[in-house]
Amino acid sequence: MVKVKICGICHESEIAIMNELVPDFVGFVFARKSRHFISPEHASFLRSKLKPGIKSVGVFNNESLHGVAMCVETAGLSMVQLHGDETGEYIAALREYVRCPIMKVYKVVNPIDAEKALYSTADYVMLDGGSAGDGKTFDWSMLGRMRRKFFLSGGLNPDNIQQALLLDPQPYALSANSGVESHRTKDFRKVMKFIQTVKSFKKSGNR
């Protein structure tokens, strides 16, 4: 059963959309170079409005261990997503600071990148194309040897989600950001179509 993550939540109006459509995860971005960046305090406010059961994920890019831990505590995050050059040693050290699951993002340019994700010590891995939130897909045929649960990201939108659901191996979760936006904010209709496509796929029993 494929799960859904909607990333880059910035506004209370977007929380209202999440509460109505209920994805499995929402993402708050703490990478300062991203246009979706918000402060830990604002993330805490938004999370307080979030319906119970929707998990909150904090997105970081080469942040200090203390900085990640502070955001996790302040915002009450359910998971950490590392989108920079964080190493296995960094992940091991971060486990001493946080008690929530850790996800490492791998930018897939060639099959070797996907292979690296197989041996990651993170609790979860995400396979992405390009930079965070830039809306670029990658060649999904490079996923053929992925034999662990993975999040798929990069350029996902309501128009290509069906193709992503038919991948073998099938992703554990699909993560969308700019692909479900209009005018740089989450679009109710696009988010609804994205989530409904996944849910209807589950019900149909397709693989």
Task: Please identify which of the residues 24, 113, 128, 159 carries the catalytic annotation.
Answer: 128
Is the predicted pLDDT of residue 23 greater than 50, yes or no? yes
Q: Is 7 a catalytic residue?
A: yes
Q: Is 134 a catalytic residue?
A: no
Please state, for a pLDDT cut of 90, what percent of the chain lies above it. Answer: 83
pTM of the entire structure?
Answer: 0.93
* Angle of helix 188-204 versus helix 12-21 axis, rounded to 10: 20
Mean predicted lDDT score pLDDT of the chain: 93
What mean pLDDT is predicted for residues 113-133?
A: 85
Whether the CB-CB separation of 184 and 169 falls below 8 Å is answered with no
By residue range, what is the domain housing residue 139? Answer: 3-204
Whether the CB-CB separation of 6 and 200 falls below 8 Å is answered with no
What mean pLDDT is predicted for residues 171-186?
A: 96
Q: H/E/C letters for each residue in 22-76?
A: CCCEEEEECCCCCCCECCHHHHHHHHHCCCCCCEEEEEECCCCHHHHHHHHHHHC
138/3: higher pLDDT: 3
Pair of tokens at residue 92:
């091991």
What mean pLDDT is predicted for residues 95-118?
A: 93
What mean pLDDT is predicted for residues 132-137?
A: 62
Is the predicted pLDDT of residue 207 greater than 50, yes or no? no
Q: Supply the DSSP symbol for 153.
A: -
Instruction: From residue 55, give the alpha-carbon distance in Å to each of 78, 91, 129.
Output: 6, 21, 23
Whether the CB-CB separation of 44 and 74 falls below 8 Å is answered with yes
Pair of tokens at residue 192:
């609804």
Q: Residue 59 half-sphere exposure, CB side, CA atoms within 13 Å?
A: 27
What φ, ψ does residue 63 adopt, rounded to 5°?
A: -80, 155
Please state, for a pLDDT cut of 70, what percent of the chain lies above it. Answer: 94
Q: Which pLDDT does position 39 carry in this prediction?
A: 98
Residue range 62-95, pLDDT digits in tens? 999 999 999 999 999 999 999 999 999 999 999 9
Q: Which pLDDT does position 129 carry in this prediction?
A: 81
Number of domains in the chain: 1
CA dihedral for 79, 85, 89, 90, sign (positive or negative): negative
CATH number at residue 156: 3.20.20.70
* 112: confidence class by pLDDT, cuts 50, 70, 90: confident
* Angle of helix 12-21 versus helix 40-48 axis, rounded to 10: 40
* 113: confidence class by pLDDT, cuts 50, 70, 90: confident
Nearest-angstrom CA–CA distance, 77 and 80: 7
Is the predicted pLDDT of residue 131 greater than 70, yes or no? no
108/42: higher pLDDT: 42
What mean pLDDT is predicted for residues 21-37?
A: 96
Alpha helices in the chain (DSSP H): 12-21, 40-48, 65-75, 88-94, 111-118, 161-165, 188-204
Q: Which pLDDT does position 202 carry in this prediction?
A: 59
